Amino acid sequence: MSEKRICYTPIGVIRSPFTIREDMPIQPSGARGVSGRIELKEEFAEGLNDIDGFSHLYLLYHFHQSQGFSLTVTPFLDKTPRGLFATRAPKRPNPIGLSVVRLDRIEGRVIHILDVDVLDGTPLLDLKPYVPAFDVPADKDVRTGWVDNSAMRPEDIRADDRFK
């Protein structure tokens, strides 16, 4: 298998009230009502046409303050070490983050969002509309692995220094 370097250029920056990693929400469910914004680069503004009809957006972003990774981590919702790819830990081989946020409004090339759980200044790689018909599995056989057995709730957990 031939490996090829992949490079991305951010399309904008995510702004939030979170300036340090510690004590910020670990998922959007822990950031209900927290407002932020996306400052899209001017050359991508036309791409916002028609997005105002959606209630939620996927944000794909670069964990710009994450370095290194381990293939086994202890996630915030558990005390047991787990395989990295069975978690949403930010220290990853490719430090790409994913969040679903609520779209509040758009003013020019600034997208106002709610439920933001992202560090201020995070480079935005892409955004996509959330569409339940595409994104929610039609079958009822959805499993969430070890998370099913966790007594902890993500909305009650805040980040600590374990992924510095």
Q: What are the counts of helices (DSSP H) followed by strands (DSSP E) for the chain? A: 1, 8
CB-based contacts of 162, cutoff 8 Å, min separation 6: 73, 74, 76
Q: What is the DSSP letter of 50?
A: T
Torsion sign (Cα): 28, 34, 35, 38: negative
Q: Which pLDDT belongs to residue 163? A: 45
Q: Give the bridge partners for 128, in sequence order.
A: 58
CA gap 99, 128 in Å, rounded: 11
Apex 110 CA angle, 109 and 113, nearest 5:
140
CA gap 50, 66 in Å, rounded: 33
User: Coil, helix or strand for 39?
Assistant: strand
77-97 confidence digits (pLDDT tens) = 778 899 999 988 888 999 999
Residue 116 pLDDT class (50, 70, 90 cuts): very high
Q: Which pLDDT belongs to residue 69? A: 92
13-63 confidence digits (pLDDT tens) = 999 998 887 767 776 666 778 899 999 999 999 999 999 999 999 999 999
CA nearest 44: which of 10, 20, 70, 72? 10
Q: Give the bridge partners for 114, in sequence order.
A: 35, 102
Encoded tokens for 129:
């509309």
The CATH class of the 12-132+139-156 domain is mainly beta
Between the CA of residue 3 and those of 6, 32, 34, what are the distances in Å? 9, 40, 40
